[in-house]
Amino acid sequence: MAALTEWKVPPAVQPRADDYSYDLERALSAVVGLHCIIPPDAFTADTLGVERAGNGVLIDQGLVLTIGYLITEAETVWLHLGDGRVVPGHALGLDQETSFGLVQALGPIDLPALALGSSQAAQIGERVVVGGAGGRTRSLAGRIAAKQEFSGYWEYVLDEAIFTYPAHPNWGGTALISPEGRLIGIGSLQIERAREGKGEHLNRTVPIALLKPILEDLRKFGRVDKPVRPWLGLYSTEVEDKVVVVGIAPKGPAARAELKTGDVVLAVKGEKVTTLASFYRKVWALGTAGVEVPLTLYREGVTFDVRVNSSDRAKFLKGPRLH
């Protein structure tokens, strides 16, 4: 698709080969474009769309690492290589806890894989490259802005995410490349922070250290072989030290328990929560998917208790089909 490669990163922030000790062009050749088609009746179709495009990184023979939301419930996956070739792919694996996704190429990809590096060793202020599909003109030279906890409204927490600046305009599945030319993270989101009275856009990256313990499970089973966290099926945010429900997944556990947008979550099993991270962690600490989750809610001047029968999020998603 032309739409995957017709844009360019502004020249002022494009990486220059002379600034790096490794072969920049070779490293960036491992970044491929990803184009996915999702059935209109898929659980995530309304929230994430039925056509998704982003990036992926070749990490082994025909094995492409990307961010999970691009391939969730995908029935068709195409890999767009830098030389113009298009290769079909199969959504091989997905991990909800980290949000990594794996794609297996169904045709030959005669490109060098990008070696995995150490995200733990990455330092704030360090120079990095955020690689997009299409080479240097669709990649940018950046720096690490922060390494800190991140909580997502979709029941998601990373103990230590990596944040980089400036922000890549097509961030999904980008390669975060270390000064040694190794892959240390996969791009996931663009966020905004206030700095010196102005808004600054950053990319949030999932650190590669989280992939290493689960990679073989994703290859073999399509998911991590361990007990699944309980999922409530709600979207929430923090407002003045309060956890507020801002959306309900259709037919999910929270919907069945008749939670509503605007509800304030005060406690989990009697323990007060004031942040998304504390809310999710207290839910996960109760047991595995299917466990009953006692919540204390505040709605329209009334405080009350409700019990939510949690579930496994994956049970609501369409599984990949191998064509």
2 pLDDT more than 60: no
3-state class of 279 per DSSP?
helix
pTM across the whole model: 0.94
pLDDT classification of 188: cutoffs 50, 70, 90: very high
90 pLDDT more than 80: yes
pLDDT classification of 3: cutoffs 50, 70, 90: very low
Query: DSSP string covering 229-273, please?
Result: PPB--EEEEESSS-EEEEEE-TTSHHHHTT--TT-EEEEETTEE-
CB-CB contact of 192 with 167 (8 Å): no
pLDDT classification of 1: cutoffs 50, 70, 90: very low
Q: In the 3-class helix/strand/coil scheme, how is 102-134 assigned residue by residue?
A: EEEECCCCCCCCCCECCCCCCCCCCEEEEECCC
pLDDT tens column, 124-172? 999 999 999 999 999 999 999 999 999 999 999 999 999 999 999 999 9
Bigger pLDDT: 91 vs 195: 91
Paired tokens of 66: 């990307």
Residue 102's Cβ-side half-sphere holds a number of Cα atoms within 13 Å equal to 23
Q: Which fold has domain 234-316?
A: Pdz3 Domain (2.30.42)
Whole-number Cα distances in Å, 308 to 257, 269, 282: 6, 11, 14
Instruction: Report the percent of the chain where pLDDT is more than 70.
Output: 97
Q: What is the mean pLDDT of residues 240-269?
A: 97
> Element (H or E) spanning 192, and its range?
strand 183-195
Is it true that the peptide bond before 207 is cis, omega within 30 degrees of 0?
Answer: no
111 pLDDT more than 60: yes
At position 296, the amino acid (one-letter code) is T
Pick the CATH number of 1-225 from 2.40.160.20, 2.40.10.10, 2.40.10.120, 3.30.1330.20: 2.40.10.120
* Domain extent listing, the chain: 1-225, 234-316
Contacts of 319 (CB under 8 A, 6+ apart): none
**How far apart are alpha carbons 264 and 286 in whole angstroms?**
20
At position 5, the amino acid (one-letter code) is T
**How far apart are alpha carbons 170 and 21 in whole angstroms?**
25
* Closest to 280 (Cα-Cα) out of 233, 211, 214, 224: 233
Identical fold between 1-225 and 234-316: no
